[in-house]
Amino acid sequence: MGRREKPVDPAGGPVQRFAFELRKLRQEAGGPSYRSMAQRAGFSVTALSQAAAGEKLPSLTVTLAYVEACDGDRADWEERWRAAEREDAGRPAPEADDDAQPPYQGLARFDPADEDHFFGRGSLTDALVEHVAAHRVTVVFGPSGSGKSSLLRAGLIPRLSRAENAVERPAALRILTPGARPLRTHRQLFTPAEGEGDTWLIVDQFEEVFTLCQDPDERTEFVDLLLAAGDPGSRLRVVLGVRADFYGRCLEHRGLAAAVADAGVPVGPLSPAELREVVVKPAAAAGLVVERTLTARLVEEADGEPGSLPLLSHALLETWRHRRGRTLTLETYETIGGLQGAVARTAEAAYTRLSPDQGELARRILLRLITPGDGTPDTRRPVDRAEVDTGDDAALVLDRLARARLITLDERTVDLAHEALITSWPRLRGWIDADRERIRLHRRLTEAAVAWDELDRDPGALFRGSRLAASEDAFPEAERPRTLTPLEGAFLTAALAARDDERRAAARTARRLRTFAVSVSVLLVLALVAGVLAWQQNRSNERLLVQAEARRIAALADDMRGSDPRTAMRLSVAAWQLADLPETRSALYGAGAQRGRKTLRIPGSTVPDLMLSADGRTALSEVGGRIDRWDVPSQRRVSSIPRPGGESPLAVSPDGRRAVVEKDGVAYLWDLASGRSLGEAVPATAWEYSNVGEFEFGRSGRTLVFTEMGGEDPQEPRVRVWDIEQRRLLADRPMPLQPDDDSGDAWNYTHVVSADDSLLASCVTGRPVELWDLRRDRRLRGGWEKAAGAVNCGSSEMTLAPDGRRLALTNGTGSVVWDVRTGRRTATLAHQNLSRAEFSAGGAFLVATDEKEILLWRLGVDGPVFRHALGNETAGAFRIDRTGRTLTYLTGATQGIVRTLDLGPAVGTVWGASATVRAELSPDGRLLATVRHGKDRNSVRLTDVRTRRTVADLPTVPCPTDSDPAVAPDGGCAASELTAFSPDGRYFAYGAIGTGPRRPVSVVDTRDPRRTTVLPLAPAPDATNGDIGDLVLGPGGTRLYATRTSDGERIEVWDVRRRIRVRQLVSGQGDISSFQEEGRAAAVRPDGRLLAAAARWGPLAWISDPDTRRATHPLLTPTLTTTIAFSPDGKRLAAGDTQGNVTLWDGEVARSIAEFTPSGAEGASPVRALAFSPDGTLLAAGDDLGGLRLWEATGSGGPPLGSPLSTGGDPILSLAFSADGTRLHAAGAHVPLLSYAVTPRDVATEVSRRAGGPLTEAEWKAHVRSLPYRRLS
Q: What class has domain 121-269?
A: alpha beta
Q: Is the pLDDT of residue 1142 over 60?
A: yes
Residues 750-763: tens digit of each pLDDT: 888 888 888 998 88
Give the model's confidence band at 1040: pLDDT under 50 very low, under 70 low, under 90 confident, else very high.
Answer: very high
Q: Is the pLDDT of residue 745 over 60?
A: no
Question: Which comes out higher in pLDDT, residue 969 or 221?
Answer: 221
Residues 440-452: tens digit of each pLDDT: 888 888 888 887 8
Q: Is the pLDDT of residue 1075 over 70?
A: no
Q: Which helix (H) or strand (E) holds 797?
A: strand 797-800
Q: Is the pLDDT of residue 789 over 50?
A: no
Residues 518-572: tens digit of each pLDDT: 565 655 665 565 555 555 555 556 788 888 888 889 888 888 887 788 899 999 9
694 CB-near residues (< 8 Å, 6+ apart): 35, 38, 45, 649, 706, 707
Question: Which comes out higher in pLDDT, residue 653 or 970?
Answer: 653
CA distance 596 to 437: 20
Q: Out of 934-943, 1044-1053, 1109-1118, give the one with best mean pLDDT.
A: 934-943
Q: What class has domain 14-89?
A: mainly alpha
Q: How much helix, strand and coil, in percent to the nearest 5, is found in the chain?
A: 35, 25, 40
- Region 1039-1051: mean pLDDT is 74
Least confident of 609-618, 704-713, 869-878: 704-713
* Strands 1047-1055, 1060-1066: pairing kind: antiparallel
Question: Which comes out higher in pLDDT, residue 765 or 1121?
Answer: 1121
pLDDT in the model for residue 692? 44
Candidates 784, 729, 742, 740; CA nearest to 762 is 784
610 near 890, Cβ under 8 Å?
Answer: yes
Q: Is the pLDDT of residue 965 over 70?
A: no
- Region 244-270: mean pLDDT is 84
pLDDT in the model for residue 152? 92
Write down the pTM of the prediction: 0.59
Q: Is the pLDDT of residue 735 over 80?
A: no
DSSP β-bridge partners for residue 990: 979, 1002
Least confident of 104-113, 532-541, 852-861, 878-887: 532-541
Q: Could you tell me how many residues make up the chain?
A: 1273
Residue 312 has phi, psi (to 5 degrees) of -65, -45
CA distance 701 to 772: 19
Q: Where are the domains of the chain?
A: 14-89, 121-269, 275-464, 471-595, 917-1066, 1079-1231
1151 near 1172, Cβ under 8 Å?
Answer: no
- Region 9-37: mean pLDDT is 81
pLDDT in the model for residue 1162? 46
Q: Out of 340-349, 455-464, 597-606, 976-985, give the one with best mean pLDDT.
A: 976-985
Q: How far is CA 352 from CA 41, 427, 712, 961, in A?
A: 22, 11, 46, 81
Give the model's confidence band at 91: pLDDT under 50 very low, under 70 low, under 90 confident, else very high.
Answer: very low
CA distance 402 to 647: 41
Q: Is the pLDDT of residue 715 over 60?
A: no
- Region 1157-1164: mean pLDDT is 60
CA distance 88 to 13: 8
CATH architecture of 917-1066: 7 Propeller (2.130)
- Region 202-228: mean pLDDT is 89
Residues 976-1005: tens digit of each pLDDT: 678 999 999 999 999 876 645 556 889 999
CA distance 125 to 304: 19
16 near 54, Cβ under 8 Å?
Answer: yes
- Region 70-87: mean pLDDT is 83
Is the fold of 121-269 the same as that of 917-1066?
Answer: no
Does the domain at 1079-1231 match CATH 2.130.10.10? Answer given as yes
Residues 799-844: tens digit of each pLDDT: 888 888 899 988 878 889 989 888 888 888 888 888 889 998 888 8
CA angle 268, 271, 276 (to 5 degrees): 130
pLDDT in the model for residue 874? 83
Q: Out of 51-60, 128-137, 741-750, 949-958, give the one with best mean pLDDT.
A: 128-137
CA angle 777, 778, 783 (to 5 degrees): 145
CA distance 1262 to 1259: 5
Could you tell me what percent of the chain has a pLDDT over 90? Answer: 17
pLDDT in the model for residue 964? 46
CA distance 1017 to 1042: 9
Residues 592-606: tens digit of each pLDDT: 888 888 888 888 777
> What type of residue is 983?
P
Average pLDDT over the chain, rounded to an integer? 81
pLDDT in the model for residue 741? 44
Residues 968-977: tens digit of each pLDDT: 444 445 556 7
pLDDT in the model for residue 1074? 46
Question: Which comes out higher in pLDDT, residue 208 or 338?
Answer: 208
User: Cα dihedral angle (477, 480, 482, 486), rounded to 10 degrees?
Assistant: -140
Candidates 720, 639, 653, 716; CA nearest to 687 is 720
Q: Is the pLDDT of residue 466 over 50?
A: yes
Residues 1219-1248: tens digit of each pLDDT: 999 999 999 888 888 999 999 999 999 999
Q: Is the pLDDT of residue 9 over 60?
A: yes
Give the model's confidence band at 88: pLDDT under 50 very low, under 70 low, under 90 confident, else very high.
Answer: low
- Region 1192-1204: mean pLDDT is 78
